[in-house]
Amino acid sequence: MVDDFSYTDNDGKVDKREDGFAFFEDNTDTITSSGVVAFDLRVYGKNFAIGNGDHHESGTDKDGKSFSRKVRFTNVWMRKNGRWQVVRGHSSPLE
């Protein structure tokens, strides 16, 4: 992940790299099932790629309430210093 990474989440909020790390550190959800389906990756040239697919997860929140989430995502990757790194991302809810 590049230093200036940004991600537009389901509600249109744009998060920076640090926001993403904080989200996972502070998240109190218990995930019981998580997976990527219908993934497609296209590489353009030697240093640019776009991946998209659907992500499904389910579990319980901090109050014990069950949830099921389905989103469609797109990630943009570039090869930098010989390593593939994500530079931008976006997700939209499917339900």
- Which pLDDT score is estimated for 92? 92
Token pair, residue 26, equals 């502070």
Q: What is the pLDDT, as a whole number, of residue 26?
A: 67
pLDDT recorded at residue 22:
59
Strands of the chain (E only): list them.
6-8, 14-16, 30-44, 48-60, 66-80, 83-93
CATH (domain of 40): 3.10.450.50
Q: Flag whether 78 is in a domain.
A: yes
Nearest to 72 by CA among 10, 7, 1, 5: 10
Q: How far is CA 16 from the centre of its chain?
A: 12
Owning domain of residue 33: 6-93
Domain count, the chain: 1
| pLDDT tens series, the chain, 95 aa | 788 888 888 788 888 877 655 555 667 788 999 999 989 999 999 999 999 999 999 999 889 999 999 999 999 999 999 999 999 999 999 97
Residue 1 domain flag? no
| Residue from 36, 80, 77 nearest 88 by CA | 77
pLDDT at 94: 92
Whether residue 19 is contained in a domain is answered as: yes
What's the pTM value of the predicted model, to 2 decimals? 0.78
